[in-house]
Structure 1
């Protein structure tokens, strides 16, 4: 079964070692590791997630998500979301205000808070 996804950016987002990207209310967003190692922490959830290239992880909770570049080599990620999940949300993840903040973070602000 094929699932359509909405890509949140065209190119992988680079993260230097120790650099972070913060997402707010990102339930349903899928994080793909493109290179390096990603360290993901979600506020209110036990345990952290580490992604190597080729691995993906879906944000299930609505807590603050902190994604950190964990290797000294180039770390990069892509963000996308299943379109069916977006349609089912009571408050759309891609509302105009949140999309603008996320786009700003991906261009260089690095936080959507």
Structure 2
């Protein structure tokens, strides 16, 4: 039986921010309720624009109000050293795992 959102294609159209296809929720590996599925602290991820980021920490992990204070992932850009954060449930939209730990990157 195929997903009611993507009809089995694995991607859905999101019209905000200029619009783009992104993975359907049925294909997401990160599950908010299961920290074992979250990116590892120290893992390296590539944004679809080519920039690489290291996962630093998570915030609002134990909140009871995810609607108001969602769990976020804090990450740092390798190129410019700037730190950013985004909702954990939004992470897979534009990030792809490159290395599971920093030592793998620097060899």
* TM-score bracket for the superposition, by shorter chain length: 0.3 to 0.5
Q: TM-score, normalised to structure 1's length?
A: 0.33
Q: TM-score, normalised to structure 2's length?
A: 0.34
Instruction: Tell me which structure has the larger Cα radius of gyration.
Output: 2
